[in-house]
Amino acid sequence: GIARECSSSSAGARRPAGIVVGLRATSRAVKRGEIRVVVAASELQPPLLLAQLAVHAHAAGAHLAVLPSTAAALGQPLGLLRAAVLGLQSRVFDEAHALVRLVLAVPPPQPCWLQCCASRLRERAREAERMPPAVLSEPGGAAE
């Protein structure tokens, strides 16, 4: 299958070719622009880590797919005990690759809490624009 196609042998150990494994390694590779697709298990804790990964992936133009699975279920098809996050490197996985097409079909997660925070910040900025400058500098004003 696709998972077997992605793995290769090196020094007797099965290592995924073109796949970055783990949150930290994937985050670094995303920031460097090396990742086309990020796949994460929904059990990733705390949720803020997933939110941070989503922000980095969006900024780098990488697609993020969160699968309703455990880290063990995500890693085992690749010969790994577990993997909460996987990154597919652009140099190995082009747009036409079957795995990339499959992951791109998964809609990206909708961080509603993040949208709510952004909306509230925009509201506060509009309120601050309408206030006279004296109100902003007075004790008890909007600046505190």
The alpha helices in 80-111, defined as continuous H runs, are 98-104
Which tens digit of pLDDT belongs to each residue from 23-56? 999 999 999 999 999 999 988 888 888 888 888 8
pTM: 0.66
Query: Is the confidence at residue 11, as pLDDT, over 50?
Result: no
* Torsion angle defined by CA atoms of residues 110, 2, 72 and 68, in that order, rounded to the nearest 10 degrees: 30
Computed over every residue of the chain, the mean pLDDT equals 79
- Secondary structure E strands in the chain: 7-10, 13-16, 19-21, 35-41, 63-67, 85-89
